Amino acid sequence: MLSIDSTAVQNQTGQQYLPSTDHTQGVRSPNQELLPLSAKINSHDCLEIGGCDVKTLVEQFGSPLYILDEETLRTACRQYRDAFAQYYPGESLVLYASKAWNCLAVCAIAASEGLGIDVVSGGELYTALQAGVPGNKLYLHGNNKSIAELALAIENNCTIVVDNWLELETLANIADEPIRIMLRLTPGIECHTHEYIRTGHLDSKFGFDPNTLDEVFAFVSQHPTLNCIGLHAHIGSQIFESQPHKDLPGVLVDYLTKAYRYDLPIQELNVGGGLGMRYTESDDPPSIDEWVKGVCEAMVKACEEQQLPLPRLLSEPGRSLIGPACVTAYTLGSYKTIPEIRTYLAVDGGMSDNPRPITYQSVYRAVVANRMSAPLTQTVTLAGKHCESGDILIKNATLPETEPGDVLVVMGTGAYNYSMASNYNRLPRPAAVLVNAGEAELILERETYQDVIRLDRLPKRLV
């Protein structure tokens, strides 16, 4: 068994690039890796993840196939949990932001590592409950929650993160007994990330405007069924800068001092998430440990300056927990060479299983799983199979010579791939397997054509 080599992404001999897993330096932060922590090259020159040969997994389960490495996911959970315990003198709770990938198995793994779950819909809430997560460790977000979603959260003793006036007034009207709420506030902090995933600046659909805080706090204080236990803010996603996250605790503590004037029983401050992950060799996100340390130190300092007791500190990592733990395996099919322009290589999936390239112009990296040591001799554009010119997974991918039937692996697909997957062109959504110690277990079945039409209804007059 060959361990994946050092920090060089592509060596001078032209071998296929591979991320570092230098175990002599201890377990690295998963969000700083391109491939899952368990990735190795076996004696057949094939990529293994979780002790499972990727080519064999495709033969067994088909493709496209999401392959989730349990070791990487659990490592990320533990690094977050343990770092907060180390750097924060008060109580803390890490919540998995499950919108990144919400399914029974992922929720169950996060909960088994002591994490709570952040959900943003009734469907995500129901899934987490069915996975065995207790309601008191579930936090419901959303900028336009329905009455049914609010009722489900109340029924199961969840904390509701209130986003706006309509929701606040609705809860005041429907709550018969005290319910736990947090107030989501817009912190007004800008960060360098895609405009669609910046949520902390003032021009955002999320959260109460800070200029209305006195009015909001007064309203809550006048309604005893609204048990306001905390304040929440979030500045965005896929962030590599450390300073915006270090600035946020001070903003929240300032809001907290104002809330105390209204005798609100606030015990928790939630700094959201947003730590980025490595999608390409040039990405250099902070480690989980570094991110947590900065947030904790900033919160302690802000509380000391205001002479306030330390609140329970919450955070909501999503992408940095689940993203690096999964890859997507495809089977290569047709190709088209346009002389002096480009060569297209087609895979058996595309924008329906990974809509991020066409939606956010996101960049990924890929390897050919059954030719791991073959020299990199061609630059190609990896195209999806959908009837859409923009269905391009990776432009200018550097690969070895390939043949139809080879297995292509796209890295870092755990976050916002399955969760945003669709049936565009009526393609069934892929299967997902959980791999660990040489065992592969199905956690999401592959949809069939029957599944695709299951909710269709054909009026009798058309038969």
Q: Which residue out of 46, 103, 228, 387 is catalytically annotated?
A: 387
> Residue 100's CB: how many other CB atoms inside 10 A?
24
The token pair at 420 is: 């945003």
Query: How far apart, in whole angstroms, are the C-alpha atoms of residue 299 and residue 406?
Result: 50
Please, what's the b/e burial string for 311-324 (b: 16 or more CB within 10 A of its CB; e: otherwise)? bbbbbbbbbbbbbb
Contacts of the segment 289-292: beta carbons below 8 A, 24+ positions apart: 289/29, 289/79, 289/83, 290/29, 290/242, 291/242, 291/245, 291/320, 292/80, 292/83, 292/84, 292/87
145 contacts 168 by C-beta, under 8 angstroms: no
Does the annotation mark 191 as catalytic?
no
Cross-strand bridge partners of residue 161 = 182
Catalytic residues: 387
